[in-house]
A and B are shown apart, each in its own frame.
Chain A
């Protein structure tokens, strides 16, 4: 049954529709693969095999009647950030305890309405805060990728590390993820996958555990550009339950994939050529430029002068919003309560000290500080003004180009334990991805090559607001030229 798990989402949907195999068969194949691999990879933090089989049987019944939605019968994984009715949802934080939502997030409700089958909940950094998935209360997942000739465990990236691990190791056909500063695109690049963050407001945030509300967007991790388009068009919708969800129709992005990029103007932002960038990243970027040029695009040098200020601005805006959002975790209405001496304030303080990990605590303290009286103008308002400057940079660039091409990450995946523990060093992982969150723009990462050590590297296409179409077209052109077929060796099956 292994071959069923190796299918792309598009191929699986075709097979399901033509009844070459049933949803039960492909779901069972995935459940078996998960049971064998998860003890080593730690991709899933909650498994729902019974629910999956019940959903698969219902999908088979619909398919037998010639009915079914756009993802009918396809088994997928869900990042533990999306509330799933009756299934524990923790955002991989201890503070949520055994929280079991009595409601469904809009994104997952859309997927189930389209016939998708849920295999379980996927590992992530606590509250999506991190770039290595090490802050999860369940411990980090292990990337299926390894350096050539080495058994050193490699980081799956973050925050959607479990989603990336599961898709790359064929433990689901595709997965939901979320992106606040790069949490879809960086793990996609590290795992040789496609990941897209749509324009802010395309996907509803209802039922998605909040990190930084003006930056958070849901999106998929998938094996191919077409698969990511199929997932994204099912996930997005207008939602009266989220006042920032856009009141516009969701395009059929899967029809964008494969359309020519002839005449497209692609910008190469010179500020992304950062100091100390490894030669192989530079080479990959030049290769991407050459591929798009050969496919008929015009390459234009552009400038985004405020790029270097994006990360520090992000590290004010995101913690500030997080400190407000996470104020709800007080141990009173849900989650784990730690009483301390028994007084109300003491209960709050001990509940939050025990429930939040060190990295989350650090960000909450920064957020509290930059919002506190006397510092608000100097930090928070200034960061919001810098954010406006960053958006202006993009608007100016998009007067002369249709999309921007950049590397997704400044390096290939690192090994666990290889980083210094300096928070700022970890933050730098998001240097190329965070700008799209600040400006609310769509951005896609597509696998393009292997590093000298045999780990995947990704290229990123950033589009105008609402122009996912161009992102998908350019990414598909890169995908076709790169012919990236490398797969991790299945060492976890041994």
Chain B
């Protein structure tokens, strides 16, 4: 799970963490008592159709703002570790 979540967990922490997560999951198991036959999963508390706006460009031309918080940038680009070997 830690790998999927992209979080480095030190070896010595793994066992304790697994126990904590198992504790939470065991508590969650009680949901199995609920009869949910035929119930649609609820994805949002607002019953409305998503509004659509006109398909047009509404912003842009703000490279400096976009890069302002970058840990590293150069010549108007984000600098990131090598992605393709």
Contacts and interface: CB of A to CB of B under 8 A. Distances in A.
Given A335-B69, A381-B41, A344 B81 contact: yes
B28 A440 contact: no
Interface string B74-85: 000010111100
A364 B9 CA distance: 13
B45 A424 contact: no
A416 interface: no
A85 B62 CA distance: 14
B51 A247 contact: yes
Given A337-B72, A348-B6, A365-B1, A382 B31 contact: yes
Given A352-B6, A362-B17, A365-B17, A200 B46 contact: yes
B23 interface: yes
Interface residues on A, range: 35 or more
B39 interface: yes
Contact of A372 (B4, B39, B65): B4
Contacts of B9: 353, 361
A379 interface: yes
Contacts of A386: 31, 34, 36
Given A102-B65, A353-B7, A424-B24, A336 B40 contact: no
Interface in B12-35: 17, 20-21, 23-25, 27-28, 30-34
Contact of A333 (B25, B40, B48, B78): B78
A395 to B, nearest CB: 11
Interface of B: 1-9, 17, 20-21, 23-25, 27-28, 30-34, 36, 39-46, 48, 50-51, 53, 62, 65-66, 68-72, 78, 80-83
B43 A214 contact: yes
A334 B69 CA distance: 5
B61 to A, nearest CB: 13
A102 B3 CA distance: 32
Q: Label chain B's interface by main secondary structure.
A: loop
A332 B69 contact: no
Contact of A331 (B5, B32, B71): B71
Contacts of A278: none
B69 to A, nearest CB: 4
Contacts of B1: 365, 368-369, 372
A240 B51 CA distance: 9
Nearest to A329: B6
A441 B31 CA distance: 22
A368 B46 contact: no
Nearest to A390: B42
Contacts of B65: 102-103
A17 interface: no
B81 A339 contact: yes
A424 to B, nearest CB: 5
Interface in A315-342: 315-316, 323, 327, 330-337, 339-340, 342
Given A201-B48, A327-B6, A345-B6, 11 more contacts: A100-B69, A214-B45, A240-B51, A246-B48, A316-B28, A333-B66, A349-B8, A384-B41, A385-B36, A385-B41, A388-B41
B45 A312 contact: no
A383 B40 CA distance: 11
B36 to A, nearest CB: 4
A432 interface: no
Contacts of B6: 327, 330, 345, 348-349, 352
A422 B30 CA distance: 18
Given A335-B71, A344-B80, A386-B31, A200 B24 contact: no
A39 interface: no
Most-contacted residue by chain B among A97, A364, A367 (CB, 10 A): A364
Contact of B81 (A316, A343, A369): A343
Nearest to A246: B46
A354 to B, nearest CB: 8
Most-contacted residue by chain A among B3, B21, B45, B69 (CB, 10 A): B45
A388 B38 CA distance: 11
Given A214-B43, A323-B5, A391-B42, A240 B53 contact: yes
Most-contacted residue by chain A among B6, B17, B51 (CB, 10 A): B6
A243 B17 contact: no
A381 B37 CA distance: 12
Given A333-B69, A368-B5, A391 B45 contact: yes
A273 interface: no
A96 to B, nearest CB: 9
